[in-house]
Amino acid sequence: MSFSIERYKEESKKLDTTGIDWQAVTASPLSKGDLFCLHYMMDIENHVPLYLSHLLVTRACMDPILTAFLACWNYEELWHGENLGKLLNLYGIEFDAQDRIANVRANLGFQNSVSLLSTMVGSWLLKDFSAVYLTIGAINELSTLTGYAALIRKSGHPVLKDLLNRIIKDERRHYAFYFNSAKEWLAGNEKAQRVDRWMLDRFWVPVGQGVKTQEQVDALALYLFDDEQGEEDLLTLDEKIGKLPGLAGIELMSKALYTARERRRQNPDWAWRLIDNEEWAVAPPKKSPIGELTTRRTPVEAEMGVLEGT
Ligand SMILES: [Fe+2]
Ligand SMILES: [Fe+2]
């Protein structure tokens, strides 16, 4: 698997949706589980700019190759979220994408700032910290594309399949960048390998956790991967990540599935109740109207400001 940053810079572009049969979105049904996953995936795609803010405070961003990648990557991810939202809207689920994004971010609260600060401090104290989030980048991209492939399989929805297959092509390129960068950092660097493995074994969480609750993460994992094919996909994923220097035999996504199963064994309602109750809506944060969160004024207020000369 090769990756050329020069080629990526030249070829990076907004997701090409030419020819997608948007008119046919309502012609095939989506199950509650499909809809749950689509909302989760859309929210996480739309969360990329905030995730990017974590990467930009680390000292790995002194590297111009990394920042060039991140500039293009962030733009491509934007269109993944936009198009997943478009599909849901066309399917008949009404929401305002901007309100939803603002609500998801507001619900993160203080925890986002703490995480941002600890990433910054960690990266400046520990040089090999870069290896950790390059590896995490590889796992995130690979689990995202594995999740999309699983959703294509579960839903059997032709328009969704067409859209997700196009997104998967982008995710493959992202995965190639992170994997190769992590490999470069880890090769022949035993200290970095030890730090990477230690951190992943203790602090790694599946993509989206933190923005989503443990139960939501489990609901996604159990819906997409709790069958023979799904489990096999996750074992293959772990095997691929295990090819990075120092990570042989590492268990990440497969472990996440097994722990989700265990939580459901202890509480049979666990996870599925979210899907059954259609809990994909994001509740607005308490005492925080959107205008206050974004410092945007409503058009009426803005107009009054102009009239008053303020
Ligand atoms: Fe994406
Ligand atoms: Fe990606």
Ligand at minimal distance from the CA of 173 is 2
What does DSSP assign to residue 125? Answer: H
C-beta separation of 143 from 207 below 8 A: yes
Q: How confident is the model at residue 168 (pLDDT cuts 50, 70, 90)?
A: very high
Q: From CA 95, how far away is CA 197, in angstroms rounded?
A: 41
284: CB partners within 8 A, 6+ apart = 99, 103, 106, 290
Q: How confident is the model at residue 45 (pLDDT cuts 50, 70, 90)?
A: very high
Q: How confident is the model at residue 298 (pLDDT cuts 50, 70, 90)?
A: low
Q: How far is the CA of 300 from the centre of ligand 1 (A)?
A: 35
Q: How confident is the model at residue 279 (pLDDT cuts 50, 70, 90)?
A: confident
Where does residue 251 rank: exposed (0-12), middle (13-18), buried (19+ CB within 10 A)? middle
Q: How far is the CA of 148 from the centre of ligand 1 (A)?
A: 10
Task: State pLDDT tens for residues 69-105.
Answer: 999 999 999 999 999 999 999 999 999 999 999 999 9
Please give the average per-residue pLDDT across 242-264, as a whole number: 97
Task: State pLDDT tens for residues 126-164.
Answer: 888 889 989 999 999 999 999 999 999 999 999 999 999
Q: How far is the CA of 197 from the centre of ligand 2 (A)?
A: 23
What is the pLDDT at residue 26? Answer: 98
Q: How far is the CA of 171 from the centre of ligand 1 (A)?
A: 6
Task: State pLDDT tens for residues 101-122.
Answer: 999 998 887 888 888 898 888 8
Q: How far is the CA of 283 from the centre of ligand 1 (A)?
A: 24
Tokens standing for 224?
């997409």
Residues near ion ligand 2 (CB < 5 Å) are 141, 171, 174
Residue ranges in the chain assigned as alpha helix (H): 5-11, 32-46, 48-56, 64-91, 97-108, 110-125, 129-155, 158-186, 190-203, 214-225, 228-241, 253-266, 272-276, 290-294, 299-307
Q: How far is the CA of 73 from the centre of ligand 2 (A)?
A: 7
Ligand at minimal distance from the CA of 175 is 2
Higher pLDDT, 148 or 283: 148
Please give the average per-residue pLDDT across 165-192, as a whole number: 96
What is the pLDDT at residue 124? Answer: 84
Q: How far is the CA of 138 from the centre of ligand 2 (A)?
A: 9
Q: Which of 224-228, 234-238, 299-303 has the lowest mean pLDDT?
A: 299-303
Question: What string of H, E and C letters represents the secondary structure of 167-194?
Answer: HHHHHHHHHHHHHHHHHHHHCCCHHHHH
Asked if residue 269 has pLDDT above 60, the reply is yes
Please give the average per-residue pLDDT across 255-269, as a whole number: 97
Please give the average per-residue pLDDT across 26-48, as a whole number: 97
Asked if residue 297 has pLDDT above 70, the reply is no
Q: How far is the CA of 143 from the centre of ligand 1 (A)?
A: 11
Q: How far is the CA of 80 from the centre of ligand 1 (A)?
A: 5
Q: How far is the CA of 77 from the centre of ligand 2 (A)?
A: 6
What does DSSP assign to residue 252? Answer: S
Q: How far is the CA of 266 from the centre of ligand 2 (A)?
A: 34
Q: How confident is the model at residue 176 (pLDDT cuts 50, 70, 90)?
A: very high
Q: How far is the CA of 188 from the centre of ligand 2 (A)?
A: 27
Q: How far is the CA of 45 from the centre of ligand 1 (A)?
A: 5
Ligand at minimal distance from the CA of 82 is 1
- % residues pLDDT > 90 (the chain): 74
